[in-house]
Structure 1
Amino acid sequence: MEAREGRIGNAFACERCRKHKVRCVPSEAAGICQRCQKARVECIEHVARRRPAKPKMVVQPTNKVVEMEKRIEKLHAIVTSTTAPSVASSTPSSTLPPTATIPSQSVELSRRTSTPAPIVSSAPPLPIVKTPILPNPGSTPESALSFWESMNDAVTGLGRLDPVIWSISIIHMQSLLETYRSMTEFFPFVLLPRECFCGDLIQQRPIFLFAVLTVASFDSSQLQVSLSREFRKVVMVKMMKGEKSLDLLQGLLVFIAWHHHYMDTQAASVHLLLQICVGIAGDLGLDNIPSRSRSPVQKDDVWHREAKRAYLGCYYLTSSLSLLESGRTRSMSHSSTLHIFAREIADAWEYRSDAIVPILVDMCQFMEDVEDTFGHHSEPALVTKAQLKRLSEKWDHMQSATKAQANDYRTLRWIQLVARTHLYKATASLDIYDRDSMPWVSGFQLSQRITCLRCVEQFLEYSLQLSSSEYELLSITDWLALVAGLTTLAKLVLHTSAMPGWDPIELQISKTFEYFRDQLSTQMPRQDSQDHGEDLFERFRRNTAIMKMAVKASPERNSPNGSTFELATGSGRTVSLLQELPPLKPNGVSNDSDPLPAPWKVSPQFDISSQEFLWRFIKGSL
């Protein structure tokens, strides 16, 4: 009865007490209760029988849960790993294979075909810790150090890399990699598979990884500027050595796609970088990649799909950016090869965003069609009307056929509105040389100018639907389109010619500009107080504040001679009113008590009618 000492109850009663249903009380003697001792009978201990356990319902984890647990395990393995880096990861990036031996991504294929590792339920989950912008250099694992060593070896002779970027640990790299995945919604031409981690990129695609770290570090302008400066050094050395690879091309495309975050007036321009990309694509023969076999058994390998996406990305950037400057020769024009590549990418549907790649390419072709049709700036009235009807119906058909996709992808709806605005902006600025012989032309031109205004308003209204964090993810084409929309409103106030029925005061264009400018400035992210220097959004607020001042001070018409920087005097002479402006506060208000200057007193650098205005805007050189 030792088992029931100190524990009185029916559950531990002996057989005799249980039979009589009485309380079993232990006696002073061991192994016998008081009742059995008094009756002088053997006290038989009761052996309790355990009931069989009920079968439990086993809930199978969902695919998302399994995928998340796999990623947590791999991250945990990366953090806890203390093994020395492999030979491949320690090899300097300067020894990357040349054009003929471009590395394929066989590792990625083997990952997809292999059996997934079992989930270890006993592994503790990783604590949620916010990665600092500049991690402690002492915590940098050896694999991260080997990566920076290889980059440092690539720029031998140009000095060592900036010490700031040496502090980026493997954990910080992985965090920036996840940030980049969310950025690809606005540039779906260089993508990452979900099972790809920093270790894979360090070994196989080091230049692309360097570019990803640069574009995804927008939280720290100091770190991003340092990374962009060193990235340019690495690319320059590789180009001078004649090295060309898909890794280098993809890295350059990513670097250009978010170049507005780290514009440098002293560095190579975006157009020059795009020329380099087009040259690399031509040297690699990306325009001659064989089309996918019609047999369902034979499919393109991973390298071919990545190469086709990169080639389409070259076209997307060159086409979109060249349209911002009329008269600039396009480095790439639409071709049947681009159409075939886009369709093959969509049919393979390796990634979710592959479905919209053909639509983006078609929109670029549409804007090229508009530029080729109305690029001469002078057309007869009947031809202009017929061409406008053709292009307008084409846009309506493309928009109605892609409504479902436009609701899921912001960048698709964005470029659709940009294309429509581009159409009516081209027709509104067109010179119809036979308008005097046709009385209906003046009304036609007025309707095009008003339609252009409404298109800009619709586009800017859609831009306000973005969350604060999404403005950080916009690609350079989307950001320039946003700045161009506000600039078009200002031009309609300051630089439009007189026309019967056109009244900017009645249309309240100045108030419209002020409304959208203030709303965008409020919604865009604010710079961290600990971060020094002017970031992209502070530059936007500063430049648009001056534009707001100019638009509000405008008499809603041009100056007599068509220049906003000159004023005709009573004697018939034209005098310049250019002068140095007092410093401005962020809201556009002068620091002294003087009233706001007239728009023609603004510096000539701020001439919004110039084709270089948009680039000066994002460079901050106004």
Structure 2
Amino acid sequence: MECVFLQAKARQKGPRGSRTRVQEMEKRLDGLLTLLADKEATEARATWPKSAYSAPSLSTVEKTSLNFADSFLPPPLLSDFGRPSPLSPFFGFPFPMVDGINDIISKGVVHFGHVERCVRYFRAETCDFPFVIVPEDSSVDFLRRHRPVLLLAILCMATRSDAQLQRQLEREIRDTLSRKVMFNCEKSLDLIQAILVYVTWSHMYCDPERQQLYQLSQMATTMAIDLELHKPAMVSSFANISHDKLEEWRTLLGCYYVTSTLCHSLRKPVLLRYDNYIAQCSQLLFQIKQAESDCHLHFYIQLQRIVEEASQTFNLESTYVVPEVDAIRIGILTCGFEHKMTQLRMSIPAEIWSNASLRLAFYHAKIYTNEVGLHSTHIIGADMLSDITLTTRSWYQSSERSETLIQCLQATKEYLDQFLALSPEAIAHITTPEFLHLIYAVLVLGSLATTTQSPRLDAASIRSLADFESYISALSRKSQQTIATPNIGRGTHEHMRNLHHLWQQSKPWYAQSITGNGALARTIGSFPDLSFMDILSTIVQRCSSSPMLCDGSPVRCE
């Protein structure tokens, strides 16, 4: 105040006042303000909490300011999924913030502007993961104070252009979850949503040898049950439904979808199953339509419900033993699932069906409901039985199984055709469930082409229809094209290199399988091995070998 007064007094001297005196007053003012700022900064640094991440040095800040597009911007989004591009300019703060909140922003790990861009980027992903919504009116300050762990998970998911920063954020969220859940025994909607987001995009930054998808999904579900999110709530009218209640419903449905998807992909027991309350939550969200993505959410849940029913009906969760029922009954059940899929497809509006993620989920469900055709045992002494007995008792010999195998093959090829139609940029943004579905589709196609035996179908014809080599080559080209695509993020490049190498290694496996070398044709008894968990060690082994791709870059598994 004294400086301002002196400066004003000097200016009041009018034309007789010396310009030099005014300039001297202004210099004194600038000097005092500089000293005051230095003093406040010194006191603030003394109160900052100790962290594994130090504030960026001046050279780091200067370098970062020259490479914002390369270091801090999330990759652009494409029109394949109908998403807007979040590539608008932003201005960040290159120094740590002092605002009373102890997080990575106040520590100076990330810029405030980068956080805002990541939140906008996450909002653009809503249609592909409609279970956690960040409304437009939810500011970064609100998220920092009320959803801090979710915000950290969003930053980890959206920071794809800087692999080193993403790894820091991934370590931070794991440490945060360990501290809050294991040591402090905390339970909150924030933690559940953070785990859901972390798991949904975990394949982009996790180490396959340390993957905890199943454990983390079960942790989120258990926490939701402890908070009684699964207990029915009385709803008299739409007007009585609060925003918080809608958020709880989405979170519960997210636990169901993510947990169910991972459990059926990994062939693990399911903790949370579809019931009347889950159906009610899904239906009410679809009717209220508070968020545009609530319509997508409803159909994701319906598809996963059909997958769950098929898994329970045919005992596909953890074993490969078809229930002891006759072939006619299994045929009726498979026809029933086909009818449900047809009815569901007819109920999906055109604007929702245009979403590529939902289409992939639909064709994955079609594969799964027909997978039972791959699981059969040849009855010893079947040649001595009559045709009537075989038709009635033997699923292996039945015409219903042959039809199921053909439908399974068609659904698998439809899925892969849909996937290959995506642009490289869209493929770079697939979620963990979609990644598992892709692996599953390739495993099914490989099983159909190599291990399918049916007295009513010619193995050579099935192999020709499967066209495994062509699909693997197309997937390999697609992954290589994705790797060569700029602006999709370094972490995504590493993930796609691993996937590309997996496709490349599948070619010699297929060649040896069809030439009679059964060492690589891995089966469980007479049943095909379709468990992602069983090929996980193979992926790690192949990724850890470091061969050189055609672009000269080594394969790494980070």
- Above 0.5 in TM-score? yes
Q: 1:151 to 1:388 in 2, by over 3 A?
A: farther
The aligned residue for residue 399 of structure 1 is 345
Alpha-carbon shift at residue 494 of structure 1 (Å) = 3.3
Confirm whether residue 449 of structure 1 aligns to residue 402 of structure 2: no
- 2:377 is aligned with 1:377: no
* More helix per residue: 2
Q: Which residue of 1 aligns with 2:231?
A: 288
Q: Supply the distance in 2 between the matched residues of 1:501 and 1:358 (Cα, whole angstroms).
A: 41
Residue by residue over 1:80-110, the C-alpha shift from the partner in whole angstroms, topping out at 9 and shown as x without a partner, is xxx99xxxxx999xxxxxxxxxxxxxxxxxx
Measured in 2, the distance between the counterparts of 1:517 and 1:130 equals 32
Unmatched tracts of structure 2, length 5 or more? 1-39, 42-46, 50-66, 74-90, 316-320, 392-396, 523-527, 544-558
Alpha-carbon deviation of 1:405? 4.7
Report the more deviating stretch, 142-151 or 240-249: 142-151
Contact 2:128 2:357 (C-alpha < 8 Å) held by counterparts: yes
Q: Which one of the candidate residues 284, 300, 307 is aligned to 2:241?
A: 300
Quote the residue 2:479 is aligned against: 521
Match of 1:490 in 2: 446
The answer on whether the counterparts of 2:449 and 2:466 sit within 8 Å (CA) in structure 1 is no
Matching residue of 1:512: 470
Indicate yes or no: 2:533 matched with 1:612: yes
Does 2:146 align with 1:204? yes
SS at match of 1:282: helix
| In structure 2, distance between residues paired with 1:619 and 1:278 | 28
Distance verdict in 2 for CA 1:183–1:473, change over 3 Å = farther
Tell me if structure 1 keeps the 8 A contact 2:220–2:255: yes
Q: How does 1:351-500 map to 2 (within 5 A)?
A: 351-375=291-315, 376-378=321-323, 379-431=325-377, 437-438=387-388, 441-497=397-453, 499=455, 500=457
Moved more, 303-312 or 409-418: 409-418
The match for 1:148 is 103
Instruction: Map residues 125-204 of structure 1 onto 2, 5 A cutoff.
Output: 131-134=69-72, 139-140=94-95, 142=97, 146-148=101-103, 166-204=108-146
Partner of 1:541: 500
- Describe the SS at the equivalent of 2:500: helix
Larger mean Cα displacement after TM superposition, 209-218 or 343-352: 343-352
| Inter-partner Cα distance in structure 2 for 1:405 and 1:303 | 28
Residue 337 (str. 1) matches residue 283 (str. 2): no
- Residue by residue over 1:361-411, the C-alpha shift from the partner in whole angstroms, topping out at 9 and shown as x without a partner, is 121111111111112414311111111121111111111111425423222
**Which residue of structure 2 aligns with residue 45 of structure 1?**
none
What SS does structure 2 have at the residue aligned with 1:554? helix
Percent sequence identity is: 20
Cα deviation for residue 523 of structure 1 reads 4.3
C-alpha distance in structure 1 between counterparts of 2:201 and 2:492, whole Å? 18
1:548 alignment partner AA? K
* Letter of the 1:541 counterpart: H
Which residue identity does 2:450 align to in structure 1?
L
Q: Deviations over 1:187-218 (max 9, x none)?
A: 11001112223222112211110000001112
How far apart, CA to CA, are the structure 1 residues paired with 2:48 and 2:222? 27
CA distance in 1, matches of 2:217, 2:106: 23
Given the superposition, is the C-alpha separation of residues 558 and 455 from structure 1 closer, same or farther in structure 2, using an over 3 Å criterion?
farther
Separation in 2, partners of 1:540, 1:619: 11
Q: Is the 8 A contact 2:475 2:503 kept in 1?
A: yes
Kindly report the root-mean-square deviation, in angstroms, between the aligned alpha carbons of the 2 structures. Answer: 3.5
Distance 1:175 1:137 in 2: 10
- 2:29 corresponds in structure 1 to none
Match of 2:262 among 321, 325, 328: 321
Q: 1 CA distance for matches of 2:469 and 2:209?
A: 37
**1:63 is matched with which residue?**
none
CA shift for structure 1 position 433: 5.7
Contact 1:315 1:332 in 2 (8 A): yes
How far, CA to CA, are the matches of 2:446 and 2:464 in structure 1?
A: 15
Q: Is the CA contact 1:201–1:209 (under 8 Å) kept in the aligned structure 2?
A: yes
Contact 2:328 2:400 (C-alpha < 8 Å) held by counterparts: no
Distance in structure 2 (CA, Å) of the matches to 1:91 and 1:401: 56
Query: Is 1:249 aligned to 2:192, yes or no?
Result: yes
Aligned CA distance change for structure 1 residues 207 and 506 (closer, same or farther; 3 Å): closer
Higher relative contact order (CA 8 A, sep 6+): 2
For 2:106 and 2:109, the matched residues in 1 are separated by 14
Q: Give the Cα separation in 1 of the matches to 2:313 and 2:378.
A: 14
- CA gap of 1:506–1:251, structure 2 versus 1, over 3 A, is closer
In the alignment, structure 1 segments of 5+ residues that lack a partner are: 1-82, 85-89, 93-128, 153-165, 566-598, 601-606
Residue 134 of structure 1 deviates from its aligned partner by 5.0
Give the whole-Å Cα distance in 1 for the aligned partners of 2:175 and 2:470.
Answer: 44
How far off is 1:353 after superposition? Answer: 0.8
State which drifts further: 497-506 or 385-394.
Answer: 497-506
Judge which range, 262-271 or 311-320, deviates more: 262-271
CA displacement 1:152-172 (0-9 Å, x = unmatched): 8xxxxxxxxxxxxx4310111
How many residues of Structure 1 are paired with residues of Structure 2 in the alignment? 443
Q: Which residue of 1 aligns with 2:556?
A: none
In 2: Cα distance, 1:374 partner to 1:531 partner: 42
TM-score by structure 2 length? 0.71
Change (3 A) 1:300 1:615: farther
Shift of the 550–140 alpha-carbon distance from structure 1 to 2, 3 Å rule, reads same
Is the 1:505–1:556 contact (alpha carbons within 8 Å) kept by the matching residues of 2? no
